[in-house]
Amino acid sequence: MTQTKDVVKKFIASPYNISGIASGNTNYRNFVALLHLLLVKHKKKKCFVLFTEIVGLDKSLKICKKLKLPWNNLKMEYMEAPTRVSATIPEDLVGCIMEVSNLRTKWDAVVCSMDKSVIAKIMRQTQSGESFRRFGHEQMASIEEYPECCAVEFIDMKWNVIEICAEIVGKSEEEVALDPETEEWVEWAAEDLRQSFGYSAKLIAVATFVWTSPFPMNAGLDRLVGFSKHNQELFGEFKVATLENKQDMWNGGAETMRKYPFLTHRACKSCLENTKNSPSAMMNKIYSGFCKHEFPELHDAIIGAVDGTIAAFEKDLS
């Protein structure tokens, strides 16, 4: 294991992006991602997923090779939108949002595990489309063994925000206006979606707006700038109406970092309340214990980066 310890030491001294998630100017997320790779290596965790679209394939493979972790490249269609029926927005809009989200987020990923049969199974599932046609938060949660309570709440929270925005567009007199780049995209998507589902270009435009506006990640920031400029009024309404939900999501994220800094998932409200024996509390205890015992420097690096990460996000938010 001395070789692994060496890899860890070097990574702490000069870290690079392996988490795919920004954490202010700190390396908090990258350190936690490294811990999770080490947990996989020590068979304390089944799998870890690296999003190569964001992280870059070379970096994902570099760290896997250094840690001698078996890996495989997944071609998956990452669909963030949950497949659930909405009480407040029309069924065809829900369906269209899901198709749009799917078209916009085709992410590649590398999954690593010490159990090659687990990797093979996930490969089969993502490629054949038998077990899951699409790969989203739910599948991610199952692969990474997130507690179900946290996964369900996370999906619900994000979807609630989408629902609020869909309702606003539904009630508004304003029509969604398209900037040239988005218009081009909608035309392209319409060809595909009209044929397969019968969705009109207008519905696709609304779905795209509702899907991309509240979460810049869904659009790519540059695209969103054009879109929001053309729909300032609606965009402003979205912001006001979703403020509380987003604040809630943010607070939960910050509280998770404070209470359970060794987790990669966002803990749900019930897990955050019960810091003794909730699924997240117990998971954090195991991960932190392992880290402190095996890689004390990484343990300190993670703890040391928490405050700076929260402060950076608070600055971003204000």
38 makes contact with Zn ion (CB under 5 A):
no
Q: Which stretch binds Zn ion (CB under 5 A): 53-61, 147-155, 220-228, 294-302?
A: 147-155
CB of 137 to Zn ion, least distance (A): 14
Half-sphere exposure of 251 (CA within 13 A, CB side): 9
Q: Which of residues 95-134 bind Zn ion (CB under 5 A)?
A: none
The stretches of 14-147 forming alpha helices (DSSP H) are 28-41, 52-55, 57-66, 91-104, 116-128, 137-143
Length of the chain in residues, anyone? 318
In Å, how far are 69, 251, 255, 264, 309 from 315, measured between CA atoms?
37, 14, 16, 22, 10
Closer to Zn ion at the Cβ: 135 or 260? Answer: 260
Residue 113 burial (CB < 10 Å; 0-12/13-18/19+)? buried
Q: Which stretch binds Zn ion (CB under 5 A): 67-75, 83-91, 96-104, 146-154?
A: 146-154
CB of 45 to Zn ion, least distance (A): 17
CA 65 – CA 200 distance, rounded (Å): 47
Residue 21 burial (CB < 10 Å; 0-12/13-18/19+)? middle
CB of 144 to Zn ion, least distance (A): 14
CB of 254 to Zn ion, least distance (A): 16
CB of 108 to Zn ion, least distance (A): 29
Which residue, chain included where needed, has tokens 């998932």?
A: 265
Which residue, chain included where needed, has tokens 């035309």?
A: 187
Closer to Zn ion at the Cβ: 219 or 281? Answer: 281
Closer to Zn ion at the Cβ: 218 or 264? Answer: 264
Closer to Zn ion at the Cβ: 18 or 150? Answer: 150
Q: Which of residues 148-187 bind Zn ion (CB under 5 A)?
A: 149-150
Residues 6+ apart with CB under 8 A from 61: 71, 110
Q: Which of residues 231-260 bind Zn ion (CB under 5 A)?
A: none
CB of 87 to Zn ion, least distance (A): 24
Q: Which of residues 271-310 bind Zn ion (CB under 5 A)?
A: 271
- Look at residue 162 and give its three-state secondary structure: helix
Q: How many residues bind Zn ion (CB under 5 A)?
A: 5
Out of 147, 214, 252, 261, which residue is the one contacting Zn ion (CB under 5 A)? 147
Q: Which stretch binds Zn ion (CB under 5 A): 144-152, 232-240, 241-249, 296-304?
A: 144-152
Q: Which residues of 44-75 are buried (b: 16+ CB within 10 A; e: fewer)?
A: ebbbbbbbbebbbeebbbebbebbebebbebe
In the shown chain, the binding pattern of residues 259 to 278 toward Zn ion, with x for contact by CB under 5 A and - for none, equals ---------x--x-------
Closer to Zn ion at the Cβ: 189 or 267? Answer: 267
Residue 25 burial (CB < 10 Å; 0-12/13-18/19+)? exposed
Q: Enumerate binding residues for Zn ion (CB under 5 A).
A: 147, 149-150, 268, 271
